[in-house]
Structure 1
Amino acid sequence: MAWLVTGGAGYIGAHIVRAFGAEGIDVVVLDDLSSGHGSFVPESVPFVRGSILDRELLERTFAEHNVTGVVHVAGFKYAGVSVQKPLHTYEQNVTGTAVLLQAMQNSAVHKIVFSSSAAVYGTPDVDLVTEDTPKSPESPYGESKLIGEWMLRDQAHATGLAHTSLRYFNVVGSGYSDVYDTSPHNLFPIVFDALLGGQAPRINGDDYATPDGTCVRDYIHVADLAASHVAAAQRLDAGESIEPVYNLGSGDGVSVGQIMQTVAEITKIDFTPQIGPRRAGDPARIVSTGERAARDLNWTMRHSLSEMVSSAWEARRTAQ
């Protein structure tokens, strides 16, 4: 028996794969390598190259590897780009999830952990986001994740699908020197690439109503995130009660200014960030509680900001 990790060759997915391995749970990876890397997948883990839009491939994979559950991480994850590519986003994230759920139903696979996003909340007007905070996504990406949650809910009503969705904001750090964030749209890679190129990173606005004037966000370590995906799968395997959604949040957050200061300390590169204008739609603060996940999914912030930055920096330098 094995769990299928879709998108398991990506930055987050690869950490989830290795977290399963650390618990002695067999996994198989399916990834089209549109943004993932085959080198991120351990040699001991079966790897199927292909798309979640290919139902026949999914059903063969389920049968050949005796798959009993799915961790669904695959998807188009760039919120900003999704505004320019809405149809592509919906095809990958909505149609793809529908095809996956159909393949699961056809193959009698009845357990799924869905990698959702705090983008479903849009710009909340509360200091601390909970699972019950109203949903108001502001991009096709956020909308597609919310639709994915709805599909799991409706399939559960129709077929008894056992499921949960994990929502989170900014994932950083690295648990392994050979797995790192390669997204051109995420803060840490952008900052590191600028520094390695001899340029000063940029902060978008320093006049917000926050302690240092820069935006405050949840930043969580990818290894902590991966551990909770495994805990959710184990709970489903054991037939234990589970909530339909969980936030994986820090409860307090850190500012972009704090991150820049920590990056300077860790990299020992002295720089003064460039200050640009605010980005449209950027709220001053978005921070989530993780209390429900702490109760059920072994969620906790095991890594400090310094550890997040240092682990990400070490992995990025190793990749040079």
Structure 2
Amino acid sequence: MSKTILVIGGSGCVGRNVIEVLMRDHPECRVILLSRGIASVEQRQGVTWVRGDILDKDSLLDVMRKFEVTHILHAAGMRTSDCKADPVRAMEVNVAGTVNVLDSARMHGAIERLVFLSTAAVYEVPDGEEFLDEGAKTSALNAYTASKLAAEATVECYARSYGLRCNVLRPQIIYGPGREGEGSTAGVSVAIREAAAGRKYTIPFQGRTYFHYTKDVGIYVVRSLLESRGDYAVYNLPGESLDVEEIADTLNQWAGRELIDCTPVSYPFAQGLVDTKFREAYPGVVHTPLDAVLESL
């Protein structure tokens, strides 16, 4: 049976990498990209671009019905800094927008799986160095994490009350191709590009946390979308725990000179995530370590 994948938020790094994986590994799938603006992949063969907005529920339902959508990736939302600047708008976009996606999917009645991209920033950071699993305590530390937690709760509601099969994915910091310079957590991606170009750059944070390569995340999301694994689940995504100062040293060794450093600012992020649940659900997944990423450039 043919599958039609609706990618919401396809202009972001996750959406773009998901589309790359679908086009490469699943040519039998039809890919519909919904975006408020012109997306970088709209001209590619096999991708149908449609203009839409998660705050316009009628347009979402129209797209689902018109293209007979069977699977949805919801990766749209406001970033941390934008949420802090306008918390009312953050709740409107990240929470009410998610409700619109979910209810349109419910009304459409033909969705086999919906994947919601959340964040591991929802975890309350412990005092120790432990890695956090999906059962760890969460905290509405700021407008961004509050909106993501509220959206997660709504996803669970639609899964349990309306039978909409859903997965919630929690990555920490995503880096690599497709990750632009927006937001301070893009600092590692920017540092790689600057080191490759022989320019100096300061990563705007320090400390140890969990990192995921963009191309890996594309694979993880596609497997989560297309492989049936129960009615509802929350997953940490696979990755590796890295210290930012060590990342800077690695980049300097790679570049052959001192170009990259970091600021003393620390973020309230976990030092690592337990990804056993995802690996057991989707056997054979691998993650690309930073050294391998650099070797491929």
TM class by smaller structure? 0.7 to 0.9
Are the aligned partners of 1:166 and 1:245 in contact in 2 as well (CA < 8 Å)? yes
Q: TM-score, normalised by structure 2?
A: 0.87
| Match for residue 8 of structure 1 among 10, 15, 38 | 10
- The root-mean-square deviation of aligned C-alpha atoms, in Å, is 2.5
- Distance (Å, rounded) in 2 between the aligned partners of 1:218 and 1:259: 12
- 1:18 Cα offset (Å): 1.7
Are the aligned partners of 1:227 and 1:298 in contact in 2 as well (CA < 8 Å)? no
Cα 1:8–1:200 change in 2 (3 A) is: closer
- 1:124 Cα offset (Å): 3.2
- Distance (Å, rounded) in 2 between the aligned partners of 1:89 and 1:162: 25
- 1:241 Cα offset (Å): 2.2
- Distance (Å, rounded) in 1 between the aligned partners of 2:127 and 2:68: 45
Cα 1:158–1:243 change in 2 (3 A) is: closer
- 1:139 Cα offset (Å): 1.6
- 1:193 Cα offset (Å): 7.1
Matched letter for residue 187 of structure 2: L
- Distance (Å, rounded) in 2 between the aligned partners of 1:61 and 1:137: 33
Q: Note the 1:102-181 alignment, pairs <5 A.
A: 102-110=103-111, 111-126=113-128, 127-174=130-177, 179-181=178-180
- 1:23 Cα offset (Å): 2.2
Q: Does 1:305 align with 2:295?
A: no
| Match for residue 246 of structure 2 among 229, 235, 258 | 258
SS of the counterpart of 1:82?
A: helix
- Distance (Å, rounded) in 2 between the aligned partners of 1:299 and 1:152: 27
- Distance (Å, rounded) in 1 between the aligned partners of 2:200 and 2:9: 32
Cα 1:12–1:202 change in 2 (3 A) is: closer
Q: Note the 1:183-198 alignment, pairs <5 A.
A: 183-185=182-184, 186-191=186-191, 198=199
- The number of aligned residues is 288
| Match for residue 33 of structure 2 among 7, 29, 34 | 29
Are the aligned partners of 2:5 and 2:31 in contact in 1 as well (CA < 8 Å)? yes
SS of the counterpart of 1:48?
A: strand
Unpaired segments ≥5 residues, structure 1? 205-213, 315-320
Are the aligned partners of 2:163 and 2:231 in contact in 1 as well (CA < 8 Å)? no
Matched letter for residue 9 of structure 1: S
Q: Does 1:278 align with 2:281?
A: no
Residues 2-34 of structure 1, C-alpha deviation per residue, up to 9 Å, x if partnerless? 01010112211010112122223222110113x
Paired position in structure 2 for 1:55: 57
Q: Does 1:226 align with 2:218?
A: yes
Are the aligned partners of 2:175 and 2:189 in contact in 1 as well (CA < 8 Å)? no
Cα 1:106–1:243 change in 2 (3 A) is: closer
Cα 1:277–1:148 change in 2 (3 A) is: same
Cα 1:182–1:61 change in 2 (3 A) is: farther
- Distance (Å, rounded) in 2 between the aligned partners of 1:71 and 1:284: 25
- Distance (Å, rounded) in 1 between the aligned partners of 2:167 and 2:270: 26
Cα 1:8–1:132 change in 2 (3 A) is: same
- Distance (Å, rounded) in 2 between the aligned partners of 1:20 and 1:197: 34
Are the aligned partners of 1:190 and 1:201 in contact in 2 as well (CA < 8 Å)? no
- Distance (Å, rounded) in 2 between the aligned partners of 1:227 and 1:157: 26
- Distance (Å, rounded) in 1 between the aligned partners of 2:54 and 2:138: 26
Matched letter for residue 105 of structure 1: R
Cα 1:264–1:194 change in 2 (3 A) is: same
Q: Which moved more, 1:90-99 or 1:182-191?
A: 182-191
Are the aligned partners of 1:203 and 1:276 in contact in 2 as well (CA < 8 Å)? yes
- 1:157 Cα offset (Å): 2.4
| Match for residue 280 of structure 2 among 282, 286, 295 | 295
- Distance (Å, rounded) in 2 between the aligned partners of 1:229 and 1:137: 25
Matched letter for residue 108 of structure 1: G
Are the aligned partners of 1:266 and 1:306 in contact in 2 as well (CA < 8 Å)? no
- Distance (Å, rounded) in 1 between the aligned partners of 2:213 and 2:141: 25
Cα 1:310–1:159 change in 2 (3 A) is: same
Matched letter for residue 162 of structure 1: R
- 1:190 Cα offset (Å): 4.2
SS of the counterpart of 2:64?
A: helix
Paired position in structure 1 for 2:230: 241
